[in-house]
Amino acid sequence: MTAIALGMPTGPKGRPETMTDAVMPTSGPMIDTFGRAVRDLRVSVTDRCNLRCTYCMPAEGLDWLDKADVLTAGEIIRLVRIAVRELGVRAVRFTGGEPLLRKDLTEIISAVAALDPRPEIALTTNGLSLARSAEALADAGLDRVNISLDTVDAARFAAITRRDRLPDVLAGLAAARAAGLSPVKVNAVLDPETGLSDATGLLKFCLDEGYELRIIEQMPLDAEHHWSRTTMITADQILETLRADFDLRPDTAPRGAAPAQRWIVDGYRTPDGKPARVGIIASVTRPFCGDCDRTRLTADGQLRNCLFAASETDIRTLLRSTEYSDQDIALRWRQATWSKLPGHGVNEPGFLQPSRPMSAIGG
Ligand code: SAM
Ligand code: SF4
């Protein structure tokens, strides 16, 4: 293996420079040409969903993947095993679509929890059916959960998700807390027109209930291409709104590859007595691509080295052919990562939204 220094070389304009003379390593951590090591795998287990969030998918849903094209539990487990054993992945997050629609999710989590080394296992869900499954998922080995909730107002929830299901999400949150899936994080995306009015209520709710709120800037990944830079709610607007009602000071703990800029909310504590925090994820206005440590697997077995990647690497064909070993698949994955671009390009002239929407990539 050629030795390559990790880290993000920075060029004269503060932009990363690729290591043009580097040779892709075939062992050790999976890295790209900028020296970023991949540690975090996001696995979409389905593209289907039981909500219809306006910023994500149309009211009528999308053209779902054919069942035959969706990876089986055995295929997902094999790929996670390769990522963990051969490629240095340390954390796995299951997402979708709505991952709790997969009946075999507990089986998948249980197999991943049995891997050596055991990765950290997390789930991103809309929480609708979590009240029924939180305990079984925790028993299977799930460590943490992020539950999406954009408002605590029932009418607004129904308008945003096109389903009147707020009580189910609240029950899911409580079940996650009771099952010890902590810290229970709440992910919120704010609607451009009315979303700022939801922010303060959401934070109050999360502080009272002991959940950690993270508000995410809306990204150009909606199926209907309604996203607009001029109307999106920015991290600065979110901070200003929250500061009108809460005393926030920057959390100085190192952020690492975490996307959220965290703030300590003075006067509030978590259930285990630590200072309460709120996170703001400025994916568009302050991208954190330089520290990105993620690789993504879609439900139909395509590797994406970035949420916004214009191309994918087919891994399902290799998986389903007896000609390819785990080592062949690991090599293909390394090649897919090696070509990762320095940034998502959303703020570059000529940016084109990827053809897959967020729900089909896995958020
Ligand atoms: N259905 C699950 C859920 O909602 O948590 C998992 C999949 S969903 C695509 C994952 C996350 O992506 C959610 O927190 C959702 O709010 C977020 N999301 C969806 N569309 C988005 C967009 N256009 N910009 C930013 N976040 C988005
Ligand atoms: Fe479904 Fe999640 Fe998209 Fe909402 S954000 S429609 S819950 S996939």
pLDDT (tens digit, 9 = 90+) per residue, 21-47?
Answer: 689 999 999 999 999 999 999 999 999
For the segment 186-197, the average pLDDT, to the nearest whole number, is 90
Residue 6: which pLDDT band, with cuts at 50, 70 and 90? Answer: very low
**What's the 310 CA to ligand 1 centre distance in angstroms?**
19
**What's the 56 CA to ligand 2 centre distance in angstroms?**
6
Residue 261 located in a structural domain: yes
Read off the CATH number of the domain in which 75 is found: 3.20.20.70
* Closest to 124 measured CA to CA, from 363, 319, 295: 363
Average pLDDT of the chain, as a whole number: 91
Whether 41 and 35 have beta carbons less than 8 Å apart is answered as no
Distance (Å, whole) CA 203 – CA 151: 10
For the cut 80, the answer to whether the pLDDT of residue 17 exceeds it is no
Supply the range of the domain harboring residue 311: 40-361
Q: Which two tokens stand for residue 47?
A: 């593209």
For the cut 50, the answer to whether the pLDDT of residue 11 exceeds it is no
For the cut 80, the answer to whether the pLDDT of residue 4 exceeds it is no
Element (H, E) at 287: none
| Atom nearest to 359 CA in ligand 2 | 8
Residue 22 located in a structural domain: no
Residue 279 located in a structural domain: yes
Distance (Å, whole) CA 119 – CA 144: 12
For the segment 167-172, the average pLDDT, to the nearest whole number, is 98
Task: Specify the higher pLDDT residue, 1 or 77.
Answer: 77
pTM for the predicted model, two decimal places: 0.93
Which among 216, 344, 346 is the best mutation to test ligand 1's pocket, defined by most ligand atoms within 8 Å of the CB? 216
For the cut 70, the answer to whether the pLDDT of residue 15 exceeds it is no
Residue 74 located in a structural domain: yes
**What's the 64 CA to ligand 1 centre distance in angstroms?**
17
For the segment 173-180, the average pLDDT, to the nearest whole number, is 98
Any atom of ligand 1 within 6 Å of the Cβ of 57: no
What are the C-alpha distances in Å from 344 to residues 160, 187, 195, 297, 306? 27, 21, 25, 17, 7
Q: Which residues have CB under 6 Å of ligand 2?
A: 49, 51-53, 56-57, 96-98, 126, 148, 359
Q: Is the dihedral of CA 46, 76, 173, 274 positive or negative?
A: negative
Residues 125-155: b if buried by 16+ CB within 10 A, e if exposed: bbbbbbbebbbebbebbbbbbbbbbbbbbee
The number of domains in the chain is 1
Residue 7 located in a structural domain: no
Residue 110 located in a structural domain: yes
**What's the 5 CA to ligand 1 centre distance in angstroms?**
34
Q: Where are the alpha helices (DSSP H) in 39-104?
A: 73-87
For the segment 302-327, the average pLDDT, to the nearest whole number, is 95
Residue 345 located in a structural domain: yes
Q: Which two tokens stand for residue 256?
A: 């690492």
Q: Which pLDDT score, from 0 to 100, does residue 14 have?
A: 39
**What's the 363 CA to ligand 1 centre distance in angstroms?**
5
Residue 18: which pLDDT band, with cuts at 50, 70 and 90? Answer: low
Any atom of ligand 1 within 6 Å of the Cβ of 221: yes
Distance (Å, whole) CA 330 – CA 335: 9
Query: Relative to the alpha carbon of 221, which ligand is closest?
Result: 1
Residue 61 located in a structural domain: yes
